[in-house]
Structure 1
């Protein structure tokens, strides 16, 4: 059961645009007015900026930058995404936890976050270096009513959302590398991992995991990826609020997800192709035992990468190792 402190924060967060009287808090939480006053005093000591006006009540003006379920909920402008948030200071993997929650029936839009991951993973079970609190490690549970063959579209949807939000926050040009990475100046800034449980004609749930390098310095990157990765801090020469980024991403994703449900994938495809990494450039790639080459021409309606060969024929690529 949530503590009295957490319940007060949640209550104030739900009324962040209005005042809540001490009596109303007392009645809803079944505690005394004196207990409410004491809790407000403790919250102020913890870094919460709380306005108290006689005959009106209390209102949170700002929260500490430290992440928690309460600070993430406060000011989150979504209707359904992130209404259930599970935050961990340390966890093996948000993706693993989100899958467990999805299997146990958690609601659509559940979000799992962590300050640190001890076993973060990316596509094809590659290691994601995230055992520190300078990045965003987050997984989202979705229960879309589309066919399993359309699942890849959600990775591409998330890619466009991340690119738009990070461009807005940094002013930098963000490119999306098919199928699941974001790049700044030819270096990886973020990755997306989408996992699914489904039957032939029905998705039971999707878990979309994202990892974003936010405030790391170059020296903090593992030597294995130091030449290939960067962070927002390194690229923009300033630090960023993880809370602000997370809330902006969730807000933007909810809007784009609902637009996708109304209008389909075509608009996302256009937005992706405007940001596609090495669009209309020549690449070589390995698919199975075959090594080929072609020019990237975009993505298909099913999320496949479209490559034009030397004879002018366009092929759909669903899984391959591309030599970028």
Structure 2
């Protein structure tokens, strides 16, 4: 992406017309450079209004992420000094950013490192899938959390993160949201958000988790057409342009509370609540295993480590979240 693309969009964020000459003067660069940047903006799927004699206008600019606004929306009992929040214009993957900087972060284990991006160019989902989003149309962020327990004690972590997202959405009067095992958030069975957790550390010693979250806010038709499943976003659901800063602040607060409780009590503490949110509880489903085989059964809860129970023709069996994908029949 052209290095001037996002700076130009920030300039046009006032919703006013800016002539080519004024843009050139502002950035002290050539007309050709600005022309290339405008081509890059168009490639992002962003429409700018152009009028002869007036210049360019971004009639419906995004509300940019702002760390001060995010931190102001944390609950009042949280010490802001515990959070190191970085907001980037563009990054390949917020998870990768934190994973590459683990050594620096480990020197400050009392801090919660969070990185959010206006645009992810190589976002990742579960099982190596691509996470698609455009500039400012989603909330994509990652959080790094240090655990005193080893990796073996973190079973069910992704399910707990799903609970946190559901709680926050409900607190904003967004109803009919549910969970799909193991790591999707749905609205009427269309995907609204997803979770990717990557663990580092020892099996029995200390460990850390990089927790990636993506929530669709206002996806373009181009992005929706790229995704090979039914998706939705908060604008489609509510008809409102919800401030990502407010949601991120509320979500960080909820994640802090839920991660402290998870480390203390484990997943079993949240099992009943998770089942109450599960979209497919008690329903007959197909479960596709990594080897391509398909199991048919009725969803019958989860165990204390977050594995899914299915009642099949051969009995009641559990399946690990890392090995299966779920499709409703």
Bin of the TM-score, shorter chain as denominator length: 0.7 to 0.9
CA distance in 2, matches of 1:119, 1:112: 15
| Residue number in structure 1 paired with 2:325 | 321
The answer to whether the 8 Å contact 1:89/1:114 transfers is yes
Q: 1:305 aligns with which of 303, 308, 314?
A: 308
| Residue number in structure 1 paired with 2:296 | 293
Q: Is 2:199 aligned against 1:196? A: yes
| Residue number in structure 2 paired with 1:72 | 70
Q: Could you state the TM-score of these two structures normalised by the residue count of structure 2?
A: 0.73
Q: Cα distance 1:79–1:298, how it changes in 2: closer, same or farther (>3 A)?
A: farther
Post-superposition offset of 1:192: 0.1
The answer to whether the 8 Å contact 2:268/2:305 transfers is no
Aligned residues: 260
The answer to whether the 8 Å contact 1:81/1:254 transfers is no
CA distance in 2, matches of 1:112, 1:160: 21
The answer to whether the 8 Å contact 2:149/2:207 transfers is no
Aligned pairs for 1:21-32 (under 5 A) are none
Unaligned runs of 5+ in 1: 1-63
CA distance in 1, matches of 2:84, 2:310: 41
Post-superposition offset of 1:229: 0.5
Q: Cα distance 1:117–1:238, how it changes in 2: closer, same or farther (>3 A)?
A: same
Q: Cα distance 1:312–1:81, how it changes in 2: closer, same or farther (>3 A)?
A: farther
Unaligned runs of 5+ in 2: 1-61
Post-superposition offset of 1:214: 1.1
CA distance in 1, matches of 2:253, 2:157: 16
Q: Cα distance 1:123–1:103, how it changes in 2: closer, same or farther (>3 A)?
A: farther
Q: Could you state the TM-score of these two structures normalised by the residue count of structure 1?
A: 0.74
CA distance in 1, matches of 2:191, 2:160: 18
CA distance in 1, matches of 2:133, 2:226: 14
| Residue number in structure 2 paired with 1:3 | none
| Residue number in structure 1 paired with 2:276 | 274
Superposition misfits of 4+ residues, deviation over 4 angstroms:
none
CA distance in 2, matches of 1:177, 1:262: 25
- Residue deviations 1:196-249, cap 9 Å, x none? 1122312431100000001235x2434132761100110122220101100010
